[in-house]
Amino acid sequence: MTGIGAFRSPAARARFHAAYDRAFERLWPMPGEARDVPTSFGTTRVQRCGRVDGEPMVLLHGAGGSCLSWHRHVAALGARHPLVVVDTVGEPGRSVQAGPVRHGRDGARWLAQVLDGVGVSAAHLVGFSYGGWLALQLALHEPARVRTVALVDPAGFAAVRARFYLWLVASGCAALTPPSLRDRAAGWLRNATLRDADLVRLAVAAVAFRRRLPVPRPLTDDELRAVRTPVLALFAQHSAVHDARRVRARAAALLPVVRAEIVPHAGHALLMEHPELVTARILALASTSSPAAGQASHWS
């Protein structure tokens, strides 16, 4: 898919931005600085927060999301690292796309330009779902920019299942129901995001956004073997995106430096279901040092 992502009308954009600003005011847990970073793909909104010293950490949300997807993780991660929390260009958020992102290499170029714009030479990358695919693209194409990669039920290890799109439709319908029914649907669908009223309102407003980003093509065996950065891959046992056992086995077999784990009793919304576990695993990875270049081993 190529083209430029945008809202269907100025009124729809205004409604979304109002919902975004309300949600940000209610949910964002720490002070920081919002910055609009120019790139060749458009202006990218980032939130700078957390420590002023130490190794930076970049947080990348999933498809249809925004930086607010990380609101339950920012305080703990920011206590240990300077954070760059991104609204991905081409997604409903405060970024404004101006050029097409045609494939993974374009995604890596965009992310490298964002890092340049905030003065970060290299960082720990953390990506959820589609954001995990983008993190892998930067690790593949710009390895010097990446210290570690933490992936939370990521795309990129297998083709996205048709079941995922059914899950999205069902979750969208559930978002329109009264809170009591929505809470029950969150359990049926294994989608804890439905229990976060602010994010639900934001998702409803985001329906008016036309997304034009590429489908996350699975990395080939050779591409995965070329990712020498230490990787943490957390797969949800009941993910709608992929078969957790198969993608975990593929990650463990092909990534040279990896800890691949299946989180039991979790769905694709792992980020919202188990924030403490996810945060602890991310911090544990970032505290490790990379092995010597070219050394094949498993991080644990």
Q: 142, 108 in Cβ contact below 8 A?
A: yes
pTM above 0.85, yes or no: yes
pLDDT in tens, 117-175: 999 999 999 999 999 999 999 999 999 999 999 999 999 999 999 999 999 999 999 99
Q: What are the pLDDT digits (tens) for 4-23?
A: 999 999 999 999 999 999 99
Which is more confident, 33 or 289?
Answer: 33
Residue 293 has pLDDT above 80, yes or no: no
Query: Token pair 């969208």 is at which residue?
Result: 172
- Residue ranges of E strands in the chain: 6-7, 32-39, 42-50, 57-60, 82-86, 96-97, 123-128, 146-152, 209-210, 231-236, 258-263
| Percent above pLDDT 90 for the chain | 95
Flag whether pLDDT at 296 surpasses 70.
no
* Topology classification of domain 6-168+210-286: Rossmann fold (3.40.50)
The residue type of 206 is A
Tell me what pLDDT residue 299 has: 32
pLDDT band at 290 (very low <50, low <70, confident <90, very high): very low
The domain segmentation of the chain, as residue ranges, is: 6-168+210-286
Amino acid at 87: D
Q: Note the pLDDT of residue 57.
A: 98
pLDDT at residue 246 in the model: 98
The reported pLDDT for the residue numbered 289 is 56
> According to the model, what pLDDT value does residue 288 have?
83
**59: exposed, middle or buried (Cβ count in 10 Å: 0-12, 13-18, 19+):** buried
Can you say whether the dihedral through the CA atoms of 262, 263, 266, 272 is positive or negative? negative
Cβ(81)–Cβ(51) below 8 Å: yes
Q: Is 156 left (phi over 0), alpha (psi -120 to 50) or beta?
A: left
Q: What is the pLDDT of residues 51-106, one digit of tens each?
A: 999 999 999 999 999 999 999 999 999 999 999 999 999 999 999 999 999 999 99
pLDDT at 300: 33
78: its two tokens: 């920011």
Q: What's the average model confidence in pLDDT over 260-264?
A: 98
- pLDDT single digits (tens) 171-216: 999 999 999 999 999 999 999 999 999 999 999 999 999 999 999 9
pLDDT at 18: 96
Check residue 1 and give its pLDDT.
58
